[in-house]
Amino acid sequence: MSEIDLVRLNFSPEALGVLNVILALVLFGVALDMRVSDFRGVAAAPRATLIGMLGQFLLLPAVGWAIGMVLKPAPSIALGLILVAACPGGNISNFLTHFARGNTALSITMTSISTLASLVFTPLNLTVWGSLNPDTARILTAVNLNPLDVLVTIVFLLGIPAALGMGVAHWFPKAAARAQRPAKILSLLFFGVFVVGALAGNWAYFIDYVGRVVLVVFLMNGLGLLVGYWIGRLARLSEADCRATSIEVGIQNSGFGLILVFNFFGGMGGMAIVAAWWGIWHVLTGLALATWWRRRPPPVPAR
């Protein structure tokens, strides 16, 4: 084991409970903007949605696993890559897609589906890909990870808040419309402040070890964006669709991943620092790519 594998970030059970509640509120706020029609978008663009989900739940976890096998980072770092890759799309992907002149409707559909699909695919990908690397498999065995326990936690942290938010949006659309913007802003603000506070309490560890994850996070994020774009091109999707699939595959909900690290892996250093640094890095690369694309409007598809 590497030194970073033995590091445990300090996070009390009380603080973890508060963080879980905050994440649930964040997902509730996001779900206020989700509609049943978002899922009907699959019928409107089945091929594009399927391509995006293929990249999200199969190819990106495979990329995370491959980086761990080839570069041989510390086992906890390798497992952190797989965990982040197994998380649903990030909450800012819809904004980034819109800013990049991509297909925002497709992005919203993919985000909605990936959020609900993560109930199954997050524990499945973490278990399957983590077990294929002997180094990460030892961690899963040591912590005695039960995929069913992960599923139950995800249901409470993602499934129920998302269902409640969508229920409010469906039955009380006017109230949801008024509440969704302040709810998103406040919940994300609270979440950001809380994560910053968590890092501040472990700042020495973060500074000491973040350099060990910069390269692997850079590679996985960059490859995720490229894979998401080029599988769309290979499937002959429109340029706007390719931009949406690129951002959806390359932007992950690393805050959710961080919570899983604390819930199931005791704040294991390499995993936590990968998730924390990803949360910073993917915003920077997402904004840079979206800005570059914004200056290059996609061609209008021929009718």
CB 257 within 8 A of CB 87: yes
Q: Which two tokens stand for residue 60?
A: 């990106």
| Each residue's pLDDT tens digit, 253-300 | 888 888 888 888 888 888 989 998 898 899 899 999 999 999 998 887
CB 92 within 8 A of CB 238: no
Would you list the domain boundaries of the chain? 3-294
CB 129 within 8 A of CB 267: no
The HSE-up count of residue 86 (CA atoms within 13 Å, CB side) is: 28
Residues in Cβ contact with 104 at an 8 Å cutoff, skipping those fewer than 6 apart: 94, 97, 98, 244
Q: Which two tokens stand for residue 267?
A: 């704040």
Average pLDDT, integer, range 17-22: 76
Residue 32 has a pLDDT of: 75
In the chain, how long is the greatest CA-to-CA distance? 59
Residue 84 has a pLDDT of: 95
pLDDT at 45 over 90: no
How far apart are the C-alpha atoms of 118 and 114, rounded to whole Å? 6
Amino acid at 77: I
Q: Please tell me the total number of residues recorded for the chain in this structure.
A: 303
CB 252 within 8 A of CB 209: no
Q: How many CB atoms lie within 10 A of CB 168?
A: 18
The HSE-up count of residue 217 (CA atoms within 13 Å, CB side) is: 28
Query: Three-state SS string across 165-184, please?
Result: HHHHHHHCHHHHHHHHHHHH
Residue 249 has a pLDDT of: 95
Average pLDDT, integer, range 87-102: 86
Average pLDDT, integer, range 24-30: 76
| Each residue's pLDDT tens digit, 189-209 | 776 776 676 667 777 778 888
- CA distances 195 to 4, 8, 20, 61, 290, Å, are 20, 16, 12, 24, 25
Residue 160 has a pLDDT of: 85
CA 221-264-214 angle, to 5 degrees, is 25
| Each residue's pLDDT tens digit, 137-159 | 999 998 887 778 888 888 887 78
Residue 76 has a pLDDT of: 94
Radius of gyration in angstroms for the set of CA atoms belonging to the chain, rounded to a whole number: 18
Of 2-6, 116-120, 142-146, 255-259, minimum mean pLDDT range: 2-6
CATH topology of domain 3-294: Na+/H+ antiporter like fold (1.20.1530)
Residue 12 has a pLDDT of: 63
Q: Which two tokens stand for residue 122?
A: 């997050």
pLDDT at 211 over 70: yes
How far apart are the C-alpha atoms of 46 and 52, rounded to whole Å? 10
Average pLDDT, integer, range 111-124: 87
The HSE-up count of residue 62 (CA atoms within 13 Å, CB side) is: 8
Residue 168 has a pLDDT of: 85
DSSP state of 8: B
